[in-house]
Structure 1
Amino acid sequence: MSFAPQIKIPATYMRGGTSKGVFFNLVDLPERCQQPGEARDKMLLRVIGSPDPYGKQTDGMGGATSSTSKTVILSTSDKQDHDVDYLFGQVAIDKAFVDWSGNCGNLTAAVGSFAINAGLVDATRIPQNGICTVRIWQKNIEKTIVAQVPITNGLVQETGDFELDGVTFAAAEVPVEFIAPVDPSEAMFPTGNIVDELEVPGIGTFQATMINAGIPTIFLNADEIGYQGTELQDDINNDPAALTRFETIRAYGAIKMGLISEISEAAKRQHTPKVAFVAPAKSYRSSSGKSITEHDIDLNVRALSMGKLHHAMMGTAAVAIGTAAAIPGTLVNLAAGGGECSSVTFGHPSGTLKVGAKTNLLGANWTVNKVIMSRSARVLMEGWVRIPADSF
């Protein structure tokens, strides 16, 4: 009996923000995987090690969490005033499914450095020393993102003293700007309200701010769902009943936001929307043991990703947090004290994060010009990833 040999595909394993994933240059993929479709999805599933009924992804590059089961495909952009096209695939752990419905804000921080190293950015735009502005077209959500990548002696500067809660070691700071994350023609608040009553059969009715900025997100008040807002991962993820409640809330919120039409569709759209809960600033001890006082933050936010409480905060959810905080009357804004908030520092399970947003009210509709935050990124390994030739 004969078996297919392994093939090798050029790839780079990178950390971006508080996530990590496998990065590919589109032209390096097997020819039939250079187009969207079944072959590409199967290839990425095998690279990451999914579906894995054991939930470990031992036979792949995934790390068995939503933050580490990620893939990125980059290519030279043909869109005017952009350098690189960025396509993100969130790979399910226990299912044969790749979700292309949203972006990963954390891995965005690594896109610029990969693009420079891969020759996807025009060499004339890369200074010998200074900052290279990488203009990214995020293909999943069709938005512009700008990454400011530090350059030293013509090379990407990855080491530095910038500390990001949720990441153990310091690195070089990479400011990231999400430009107009909500197009003026789109509804930032799909229901038309900044606060809704979200009815979830069998569970209850809750106040909710449902916003589409960065990534579709449903914000709830922590106290309405029985939490303090200072919870860590084990407080939520070790409670199967709680996870089931959150998933049910997410599904009904997705219907109200117009993202799906039937509850059953939520299982095939795991990446979006996100569910998060907010609470006024309160002291707690982070997952690393760091003491976070109520004076360090404006509010607490906890968010779930792919059915589990996130160990820090998704970058795209941070965009939603910053945007909602800047709009008076949203649950996020009220948790932060209300009024005008051009920037907020919020507490998450691993520590704190500051995010700023510039919003405007045009007639009856809110728009956001940009959302800014700082992340860091680093190449962990580069070379080839190997998978059986008959995987796709």
Structure 2
Amino acid sequence: MEQTWRWFGPDDVVQLPHIRQTGATGIVTALHQIPYGVIWSVEEIEARKALIAADPSLGLRWSVVESLPVHENIKIGEGELEPLFDNYRQSLRNLAQCGVTTICYNFMPVLDWTRTELAHPLPGGGTALRFNAHEHAAFDCFMLQRPGAEADHSPEVLARAKDWFDRSSEADRRKLLANIMAGLPGAYDRYDVPGLRRMLDRYREIDKTRLRENLARFLREVVPVAEEVGIRMCIHPDDPPRPLMGLPRIVSNEDDLAFIVGAIESPANGITLCSGSLGAGPANDVPAIAKRFATHIFFAHLRNVAKEPDGSFMEADHLGGDTDMVAVVMALLEEQKRRKEAGDPRWRIPMRPDHGHELLDDVGKPTHPGYPAIGRLKGLAELRGVMMTLASVRNLPL
């Protein structure tokens, strides 16, 4: 697999020479400064490519776009959508013209990945991302005061949520809101509580069926152009894979993925296998999902989570947690072998170590939440060891 690394652009604390030191050669990045729905011009794309290639000794290339965002109006199915589809199609054409042909995107309403703690303490002084079910319930029921929210949380979680809220200070509540918003990088909208209420109100009539229909329309509108220009679209699973604040989720499990790949049959309509996002779903067998959808996987995020009975979970070591990462890597390597033997020139699957623990000298640095250098380096080294061992023992191409 191609070893890649997420880079948030010129302002990222983790710089390109640091990335090369990890052993990664592919860069996963996006033009976060460009708002939703605006065309990514050839000039902007080439400028980012030039930054990545400025020092030829590093041997880095822009391997994957993460993410080319889908405008909220497309998810809701609201307003004049054809200009937004036109702009998305033109961005795809421009990316293909510049040689960047793997595109990760998501269809999560309003919020991207969501955590309630960004620096949960670990033994020895490190920190991890964490989702606490009772803090999410406290936000949903008592800060957001969403009508009917109590029905979405168990009595035990609600009791702990009420206790947290009653003991919390105004600073605690502001921090919780900031943590929940932290998964939205760059030009993505952030909300205060009234603003979030207004956004949720726009989704009042959108259930899972309706959101699925809107995703299917998006795929019908853009996938033919992606196929025409040689782009592979890779939808990212919901994180966490469960409804949040009354918002439906439609990329959360095996059934959802089957719907997506069946919505338009095309070699351009694919999946980002995120073992952590899917792994946070108690019913998801991630290795089995990897095997079933192997032919549709064009990008992989490899990380692990440890789940708890109340719906809470925490980012675990990449080879720890609840998901059998060795089995996941095996499924991807076997799919690579199949593609190579079939003569696919793009047989290698880009992978990156996703969310890492904040460790050692990274503790306290202003890195993007979940994206410190050392924790991801540790994860990449562990995953590289698994890949090389399996490739050697099973005679599989790396």
Give the TM-score taking structure 1 as reference length: 0.26
More strand by share: 1
Q: With CA pairs under 8 Å and 6+ residues apart, which has the higher RCO, 1 or 2? A: 1
Give the TM-score taking structure 2 as reference length: 0.25
More helix by share: 2
